[in-house]
Chains A and B, each alone.
Chain A
Amino acid sequence: MENSSESAGTTKRKHNRAFMAGWLNGYGIGLLAFPFGVVLLVVIWYLVTKLGDYPAFILPGPAAVMEEMHKIIVNGVLWIHVKATLTEMAGGLALGLGTATILGYILAKSPILERLIGPYIVASQSVPAVAIAPLLIIWFGTGKLSKVLVCALVLFFPVLINTIVGIRSVDAGLKTLMKSLHASRWQTFVMLEVPASLPVLLGGLKIGVTLSVIGAVVGEFVGADRGLGYLINLAKGIFNTSLMFAALIALTAISLTLYLLITALERWLLDWRD
């Protein structure tokens, strides 16, 4: 009796140790390394500005940028621009992911259609999506819509390709199984195609989110009255490089947060993978 409880305790401790080791090897190390890297970067940045003695409009020090950051957080300016950029990204993601996923599914299922439309889609990619941004501003104005469209356009193609690859990679044996069970088209879609292509679709989402930041900023560069891209442009115009840095940091924070959120989503949804 005593013996068995003792061995149970040992097993539990072993488990805990194994868990800690696994956690550290997994993302624990990454989690610890990241803040360390940031601190290191800030220190180097500080040393460069200190030793180089650059004028603030070329390279402001960390303190000046923090001060600027604090100012725009307190007076609400940052939030106005972050909100604008996030809204455009959300719209662009919804539109771009939606259309690219649906079209990708259709093309993956119909080789004839792919041969028909495919070349046009590839040809359209020879013009970088960002180069069309000015045109979209002319057509759809300097409001949110034009930015949403730039976002959607930038992420459309990579997500489309991802979807086609994902749907095409559905295991042939599982397709045969579904056929032998007389599964309907809808059942095959819901029970096989969606879960089977989920890893690739989430990969597409990851790319999409990253690209939507680019799309929104480029759109705001070309013509806008708010948004982080606009703020960077504004800061450039008034030689306020600290403000520019603050905007860049905000952009990085947005991208990073979204990326980490999707990674967490992946871990949660795809726990069945090896």
Chain B
Amino acid sequence: MSINSFILEAKNLGKVFSDSSGKLPAVNNISFSVSKGEFLCIVGPSGCGKTTILQLLAGLLDNTSGEILLGGKPLKGPHRDISVVFQKSNLMPWRSVLKNVLLPLQIYGTPAKEAKEKAGLYLEKVGLSEFANAYPKALSGGMEQRVAVARALVQNPRILLLDEPFGALDSFTREQLNLELLSLWRDQNITAIMVTHNIREAVLLADRVLVLSPRPASIYREIPVNLPRPRTGDIEYTREFVDLTYQIRKAIKA
């Protein structure tokens, strides 16, 4: 096994928020590794520090202890190889849908013509080509998150971080988007890490589920999901699926 067999590693990762009123430990000494092409889900009770972990991985927050390694090298701040889909779509309302997808490429200085073609391609992948010139105000919540996914993929990241991206959507749209996400993940051969409090979603998507303890977050259990791929919505009604969700639910309760 070479030293770089893990694309992302968290080693004794810790985060303590401190302000005038004192110190608030949010993440406590977490270690885990993610293999290339893996889909990892992180679940835990609400307020346990899931989002904080994701923000640390995204380089949006500085950790107070431990380190994060991207391809064996310490991660310092945001990195082009890592992109994030947030809870909110965070689309710029003054930009057309296409120009929203274009944003990362503009920031990274991709030549305009190439950037536009690429943005168009990814918009097509999420099935929104016909909305290219519409403003975000014309989109539904599900469509907004599709655009956000396209925008996250357009820069060809190696790692996709997802912070409960479909949490605000109704369950049908959510299932639909999860299945679309799975096929994009397979096509792009990308590594995905999703934070969620929805156990069914985690089992549907993940190769492995990390269960976190209440705040400050530490890893409580690690549960592999050995369900066959490609997965469809039907898998949720199999015995194995239900067993896994039950196992995770119990782990969170404990």
Contact = CB atoms under 8 A, between A and B. Distances in A.
Interface of A: 171, 173-174, 176-183, 187, 191-192, 195-196, 198, 270-274
Nearest to B79: A182
A192 B92 contact: yes
7 nearest A-B residue pairs (beta carbon): A173-B90, A182-B78, A272-B94, A272-B135, A177-B90, A195-B94, A173-B88
8 contacts: A181-B104, A181-B155, A182-B77, A182-B78, A182-B80, A198-B94, A272-B94, A274-B137
Contact of B103 (A191, A272, A273): A191
A192 B137 CA distance: 17
B78 A273 contact: no
Contacts of A187: 107
Contacts of B106: 191
B244 to A, nearest CB: 31
Contact of B78 (A171, A173, A180): A180
Contacts of B135: 271-272
A272 B93 contact: yes
Contacts of A178: 107
Contact of A176 (B60, B93, B155): B60
B83 interface: yes
A240 B124 CA distance: 72
Contact of B86 (A177, A182, A195): A177
A180 B92 contact: no
A173 B137 contact: no
Contact of A191 (B59, B107, B136, B155): B107
Interface string B130-144: 000001110000000
Given A176-B60, A181-B104, A273 B79 contact: no
Interface string B78-109: 11100110101010111100000001101110
B59 A180 contact: yes
Nearest to A188: B107
A197 B177 CA distance: 33
Contact of B90 (A176, A183, A191, A195): A176
B192 interface: no
A181 B93 contact: no
Contacts of A192: 92
Contacts of B155: 181
Nearest to B155: A181
Contacts of A273: 93, 137
Given A173-B88, A272-B135, A179 B78 contact: yes
Contacts of B88: 173
B94 A174 contact: no
Contacts of B59: 180
B58 interface: yes
Nearest to A270: B94
Given A173-B88, A273-B137, A180 B58 contact: yes
A171 to B, nearest CB: 8
Contact of B92 (A195, A270, A271): A195
A174 B90 CA distance: 6
Interface in B24-66: 58-60
A272 B79 contact: no
B204 to A, nearest CB: 26
Nearest to B84: A180
Contacts of B58: 180
Nearest to B96: A272
Contacts of A181: 78, 83, 103-104, 107-108, 155
Contacts of A179: 60, 78
Contacts of A191: 92, 103, 106-107
A180 B60 contact: yes
A200 to B, nearest CB: 13
Contacts of B78: 179-182
Nearest to B59: A180
Nearest to B152: A180
Nearest to A195: B94
A251 B25 CA distance: 63
A167 to B, nearest CB: 15
B139 to A, nearest CB: 12
A187 B79 CA distance: 16
